[in-house]
Amino acid sequence: MTVDIERNLLGARTAAHAKVEIYSGVARLARTVWGAEQKIKGTQPKTAVMICHPTANFLGHYALPGLAERGLGAVGFTTRYVGNDTSLIMENCLLDMGTMVDHLYESGYEKVVLVGNSGGASIVPFYQAQALNPSITKPVDLTTAGLRPVDAVVLFNAHPSRARLCTEWLDPAIRDEANPFDRDPALDMFNPANTAPFSAEFIATYRAAQFARNRRISAWAEQRLAEITAPGHFPQGLDDLAFVVQGTAADLRCLDGDIDPSDREIGVTLWCSPQGANYMPAGITRVTTLRAWLNQWSLDHTNADSLRWLPQITTPLQVVLGTADPTVLPAMAQQMYDHATASTRRELKYVKGATHYFENQPELLTEALDAVAAFIHDVCG
């Protein structure tokens, strides 16, 4: 049966930004975060489902029509950092989410469910944990933010955190950050001498080198930040600086299907070949700032790690994953599910053969959304 879908643009007013983090003066002056709402025309659903990501533009998310058709208010949400995570601070994403969550409750929804899609798992469990028991005071004081807890959480084709994913994708063959084509052949997964399936010894050495590179960049960022903020440094008042990180798509799992096995296609990424994605200008982590690196990409500094916060969440939680996703793997979904030890109800659903975006897979998207809607209707009434 075909139903008429009503589409609305939602705008929720935020507090003034404490500093200039986005280029657009229009966006800063507007002080508004945006959501795209879809629902069956002429109805007011009881439950809103808000799909979140730190930086992706979800106003046209592929799941919105299907969730609306299943009797939910489907909302694709964007933070202030939409389309540009260069200077992104995760705690500010939580403030933006809280603004829209309040707006949804105040506009007539009785229940709100947060869906963390892809990188959205970095912020959704973090949000709920800080709403239930706020503890973070830096770089943003969340103990005074008044974040409102939601009624359920769904992690949909989502990885545990941006910092973890970044580290597992960092190219350890890059010896000099200023010369990204100076490569160590012994740590080069693209070197024909290092062919898949990789040995356990090579994998261990490679992973250790990836962790070491993440920590080298973090140590450099801390040192550089101290330098530019020191008294007398030119220009006065500068409190951050941009830089480029090359080599960010060198995950061994792209070439070796025996590591964290799944139904994924080998030799591909979400964008192009691993070699191309490793250096392409639009690649993940490519342009960042000292503070943003430490806040979202650094293993040892970020607060936005779902595995840290999931054990604190009592809310019902569902994890949904397509088994052919080339980026998010069953081992990641299982890890997040296993960490949700305090949840009053938890569910893990695999969609056999589904890819990250369900592109050209309408039947599998239907299966996934049926599972999500059934879970939400069950726990929210």
Query: Is the bond preceding residue 197 a cis peptide, omega within 30 degrees?
Result: yes
pTM above 0.75, yes or no: yes
CA 104 to chain centre: 22
List the pLDDT tens digit at each of the 381 positions of the chain.
579 999 999 999 998 877 777 777 788 888 899 999 999 999 999 999 999 999 999 999 999 999 999 999 999 999 999 999 999 999 999 999 999 999 999 999 999 999 999 999 999 999 999 999 999 999 999 999 999 999 999 999 999 999 999 999 999 999 999 999 999 999 999 999 999 999 999 999 999 999 999 999 999 999 999 999 999 999 999 999 999 999 999 999 999 999 999 999 999 999 999 999 999 999 999 999 999 999 999 999 999 999 999 999 999 999 999 999 999 999 999 999 999 999 999 999 999 999 999 999 999 999 999 999 999 999 998
CB count within 10 Å of CB 41 equals 11
Q: Residue 89: what pLDDT?
A: 98
DSSP reduced 3-state for 362 = helix
Q: Residue 30: what pLDDT?
A: 80
CA 345 to CA 286: how far, in whole Å?
Answer: 38
Q: Residue 24: what pLDDT?
A: 77
217 sits in which H/E element: helix 200-228
Non-local (6+) Cβ contacts of 118 within 8 A are: 53, 56, 157, 158, 159, 327, 328, 356
First to last CA, the chain: 23
Domain boundaries, the chain: 5-161+302-380, 176-297
Residue range 5-161+302-380 forms a domain whose CATH class is: alpha beta
Q: Which of 219, 296, 284, 221 is nearest to 249 (CA)?
A: 284
CA 334 to chain centre: 17
CA 259 to CA 135: how far, in whole Å?
Answer: 36
Q: Residue 114: what pLDDT?
A: 99
Whole-Å CA distances, 356 to 118, 323, 365: 8, 9, 10
Instruction: Count Cβ atoms within 10 A of the Cβ of residue 377 and give its class: 0-12 exposed, 13-18 middle, 19 or more buried.
Output: middle
Non-local (6+) Cβ contacts of 69 within 8 A are: 3, 5, 40
CA 327 to CA 118: how far, in whole Å?
Answer: 9
DSSP state of 119: G
CB count within 10 Å of CB 194 equals 18
